[in-house]
Each structure stands twice: as structure tokens, then as C-alpha cells.
Amino acid sequence: MTATGSSAGHDASGDEGAAAPVTIAGPDELLQAVGRTFGPTEWMTITQERVNQFAEATGDHQWIHVDEEKAATGPFGGTIAHGYLTLSLASWFLPQLIDVQNISMGINYGVDKVRFPSPVRVGARIRARSEVVSATEIEGGAQVVNKITIEQDGSPKPAAIVESVSRYLR
């Protein structure tokens, strides 16, 4: 399997098919993966049900997310996903991009930087690409920063750019 090209400046037109996850043999191979790009994933449609469930889980019931009638006349022309919902989907997309083998566990270690260049309207399709921006040997494995770009079908701007930090232990 091979990695695909960079998502920089990519207009998510919906024409490109999903790539299979790239298999990485383990933490040692990850250390050599800096600069590699992966993806895109399959598309996911953001539903009102998902947004409502996220609102329940977080207590964020702002009308732009959950009041379809009011949001229809608001600044986005309809309800939008929470930025943190979009961010949380980075963890859902990452295993679709990279399949790290020969590890005892993978740990979400946090994020270095997150941006939300454009809102995600309910009904929109999103997908992700990633680039390994750094990889450092740590005791028992590797720490990797993946820049995950969450694209929105038909939008010239990404929905989110997430510098996700993961640890992969032998």
C-alpha cells in the first residue's frame, strides 16, 4: 500500500475514492514516516441525531446546534456540528488512515493545535487525510504527531485541522 499526496489546498470535490489504511509495521517504522501522507478516508455524513447526541453528552445545547427552526434563519442557514464534535472525529478517522501493527497499545496523548476554518452543516459529508509531521522515540515506543485535515465535501476550506499526538507502545 502507498500513501497519497498532500491535502494542502485540496478542494474536497467528492470525486476521489477512499484509500485503504496504510499498514505500518510498528513504532520503529513510524519513526521513519515523517512527511508521509495518508488518505482520504470514506465519507461520513453529519446527522442531526449525532449532533444532538453530542449536545447531550457535553451539555452544549446552543441553538446553532440543536434548534433546526431557529438555525434555519441564523448565520449558517441551518444547524451546524459542534467544533468539538468535529475534533472528536479525528480519533474515529485516524485508524482508517494508519494501521499500526506490532504494538501493545496506542494512546491518544492529546493535541498540539486545532483550528476550525469552516463550520460543518448538518447533512454535510466529511472525511480525513493525515500527514506525519513528527515522530520521536520514547521509552517503549514512539510518539507521533499527525496533522489530520478533516475535509468537507464541496468546500475549499477544511472543517478542521488537528495536530493529534499519539503514542504507540511495543
Domain ranges of the chain: 22-43+82-169
Instruction: Supply the pLDDT for residue 63.
Output: 98
Q: Which of 98, 129, 133 is nearest to 17 (CA)?
A: 129
Local mean pLDDT, 10-residue blocks, the chain (170 residues): 40 71 96 97 98 98 98 98 98 96 97 98 98 98 98 98 98
pLDDT confidence of residue 7? 40
What confidence score (pLDDT) does residue 13 get?
A: 56
Report the candidate in 86, 104, 98 with the shortest Cα–Cα distance to residue 149. 86
What is the predicted pLDDT for the residue at 16?
A: 74
pLDDT of residue 12: 58
Can you tell me the distance from the alpha carbon of 7 to that of 130, in angstroms, rounded to the nearest whole number?
A: 8
Q: Mean pLDDT across the chain, nearest whole number? A: 93
Q: How far apart are CA 81 and CA 107, in angstroms?
A: 26
pLDDT at position 17 is: 85
CA distance 81 to 24: 32
Q: Is domain 22-43+82-169 given the CATH code 3.40.50.880 in the classification?
A: no
